[in-house]
């Protein structure tokens, strides 16, 4: 009879930037400041573009979407780290870890695809400047944005199938995976 590894992982330990308790408030303040600047800066971009009718062009439509995506990307990781720094609780559940990683990957995919769409927008503006408003109409811009979301949501979670997760855990052989 062959024995198998039956290790069940229910949580991981997150190891931060420093275990020195004297540095924890400094790191917390620095990351809180960076998070707030990121969120407020991107909100300011979104509010400026939405309040000025002259900025309702495809270029600024995609800029707003990139700003919103940046807010989502930064808020799916930094708050957990800030809570960890304040509470000294280094545990994260397996499901929480997979969800956090999945959201980071999806938002990273969306950002990369939106940057490709912005490149296409610039290409049309330069090479087909007389037809720009006809080609890059509102319908196409919304369709391009929705296709970025759809591709990201369908392609990004592929590495998180049950087989890939069990292989990762089987290869590690350790119930306290370090992230």
Mean pLDDT of the 29-45 span = 95
pLDDT band at 78 (very low <50, low <70, confident <90, very high): confident
- Using the predicted structure, report yes or no on whether residue 3 has a pLDDT greater than 80: no
Q: What is the pLDDT of residues 139-172, one digit of tens each?
A: 999 999 999 999 999 887 665 555 444 444 443 4
- Tokens representing 144 are 């391009």
Contact of 74 with 38, CB cutoff 8 Å:
yes
- Using the predicted structure, report yes or no on whether residue 37 has a pLDDT greater than 90: yes
- Using the predicted structure, report yes or no on whether residue 136 has a pLDDT greater than 60: yes
Q: In the chain, where does DSSP find H-type helix?
A: 24-51, 58-75, 78-87, 94-127, 132-135, 138-155, 162-172
- Using the predicted structure, report yes or no on whether residue 42 has a pLDDT greater than 50: yes
- Cα gap 165→142, rounded to integer Å: 35
Please state, in angstroms and as integers, the Cα–Cα distance from residue 37 to each residue in 42, 48, 110, 171, following that order: 8, 16, 22, 40
Which range, of 13-17, 87-91, 117-121, averages the lowest pLDDT?
13-17
Residue 107, class by beta-carbon neighbours within 10 Å (0-12 exposed, 13-18 middle, 19+ buried)?
Answer: buried
């Amino acid at each position: 009879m062959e024995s198998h590894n039956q290790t069940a992982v229910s949580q991981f330990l997150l190891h931060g930037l420093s275990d020195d308790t004297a540095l924890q408030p400094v790191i917390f303040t620095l990351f809180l400041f960076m998070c707030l600047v990121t969120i407020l800066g991107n909100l300011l971009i979104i509010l400026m573009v939405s309040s000025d009718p002259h900025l309702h062009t495809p270029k600024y439509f995609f800029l707003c979407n990139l700003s919103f995506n940046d807010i989502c990307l930064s808020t799916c990781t930094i708050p957990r780290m800030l809570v960890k720094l304040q509470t000294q609780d280094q545990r994260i559940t397996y499901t929480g870890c997979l969800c956090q990683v999945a959201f980071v990957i999806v938002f990273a995919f969306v950002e990369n695809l939106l940057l490709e769409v912005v490149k296409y927008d610039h290409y049309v503006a330069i090479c087909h400047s007389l037809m720009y408003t006809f080609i890059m109409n509102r319908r196409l811009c919304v369709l391009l944005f929705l296709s970025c979301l759809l591709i990201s949501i369908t392609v990004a979670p592929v590495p998180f199938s049950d087989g890939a997760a069990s292989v990762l855990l089987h290869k590690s052989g350790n119930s306290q995976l370090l992230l």
